[in-house]
Amino acid sequence: MKKTLENIIKSRRSIFPSQYTNGVIPKTDLLKILESARWAPNHRKTEPWRYKVLQGNALTDLGEFIVEQFSLSTDKAVPLKLKKLQEKLEVTTAMILIFKYRDKKESIPEWEEIAAVSMSVQNMWLTTHNLGYGCYWSSPKPFVDMSEFKKITVEDREEFLGFFYIGTYNPEEVASSILTERKSIDQFTQFVD
Ligand SMILES: Cc1cc2nc3c(=O)[nH]c(=O)nc-3n(C[C@H](O)[C@H](O)[C@H](O)COP(=O)(O)O)c2cc1C
């Protein structure tokens, strides 16, 4: 398929760790992904996105930290789902922790900052896809306080918005997931003359 912007947008998908092949992603490519994050639109030039990139042992540490946080929140046994999450992190090449920074002046409504971070993540998603890697945004776990994760520095006024998984994958093996159902334009648009 020709690499037009339209095709890149349409063929972008969530690619999950079960599809990752645990390959190497050069630092230059990670920097390209983060470079695209810089250019997202944002109101009053607050540039509210903050990212922490984890690789190698830091991913194992993250998995252990999430399990610890679960155990601190409840007496229940660690569910299989969380053990599986640790396995998912083992096949993930890089994890970008997504944070939103709220400026002290609070000069614009908070939703606009979340919107700007989301646009920045979409830039990364499209760039990751264009480079031939798989990725997806996973929501925060309610029982996890990421500011307690000692491997990263979380500043005051930074709020965690989720996990951006990145991995190598074989596009041929996930080709069947490319065609997903979407609403047609007339289902979500009102045209007015
Ligand atoms: C803000 C946000 C949070 C998401 N959180 C999760 C999540 O926690 N778990 C998950 O499996 N997918 C998550 N996704 C990915 C969506 O499930 C995915 O984008 C949707 O199914 C559409 O598929 P596509 O990305 O392949 O087009 C999230 C996506 C967004 C934008």
**Is residue 176 pLDDT above 80, yes or no?**
no
Residue 9 sits at φ, ψ, to 5 deg, of: -65, -45
| Domain count of the fold of the chain | 1
The answer to whether position 104 is within a domain reads: yes
Whole-model pTM? 0.96
The answer to whether position 192 is within a domain reads: no
**Is residue 177 pLDDT above 60, yes or no?**
no
**Beta bridge pairs of residue 52:** 97
**Beta bridge pairs of residue 138:** 163
pLDDT value, residue 2: 81
- Please state the rounded mean pLDDT for residues 144-155: 98
pLDDT digits (tens, 9 = 90+) for 77-130: 999 999 999 999 999 999 999 999 999 999 999 999 999 999 999 999 999 999
Q: What percent of the chain has pLDDT over 90?
A: 91
Check if 190 has its Cβ closer than 6 Å to any atom of ligand 1. no
Domain that holds residue 135: 11-168
The answer to whether position 173 is within a domain reads: no
The answer to whether position 32 is within a domain reads: yes
Check if 139 has its Cβ closer than 6 Å to any atom of ligand 1. yes
pLDDT digits (tens, 9 = 90+) for 59-74: 999 999 999 999 999 9
| Cβ burial 122-140 (10 Å sphere, 16+ → b, else e) | bbbbbbbbbbebbbbbbee
The answer to whether position 93 is within a domain reads: yes
Check if 55 has its Cβ closer than 6 Å to any atom of ligand 1. no
* Cα-to-centroid distance, 136 and ligand 1 (Å): 7
Q: What is the CA radius of gyration of the chain?
A: 18
Which of ligand 1's atoms lies nearest the C-alpha of 139?
Answer: 8
Nearest CA to ligand 1 atom 20: 14
Q: How far apart are CA 46 and CA 35, in angstroms?
A: 17
pLDDT value, residue 181: 84
Contact 37, 166 (CB under 8 A): no
pLDDT band at 58 (very low <50, low <70, confident <90, very high): very high
Contact 93, 55 (CB under 8 A): yes
Which of ligand 1's atoms lies nearest the C-alpha of 121?
Answer: 31
The answer to whether position 179 is within a domain reads: no
Check if 13 has its Cβ closer than 6 Å to any atom of ligand 1. yes
* Cα-to-centroid distance, 14 and ligand 1 (Å): 7
Check if 101 has its Cβ closer than 6 Å to any atom of ligand 1. no
- Please state the rounded mean pLDDT for residues 1-19: 92
The answer to whether position 5 is within a domain reads: no
* Cα-to-centroid distance, 117 and ligand 1 (Å): 15
The answer to whether position 188 is within a domain reads: no
Q: How far apart are CA 166 and CA 190, in angstroms?
A: 36
CATH number of the domain that residue 38 is part of: 3.40.109.10
- Who contacts 75 (Cβ-Cβ below 8 Å, separation ≥6)? none
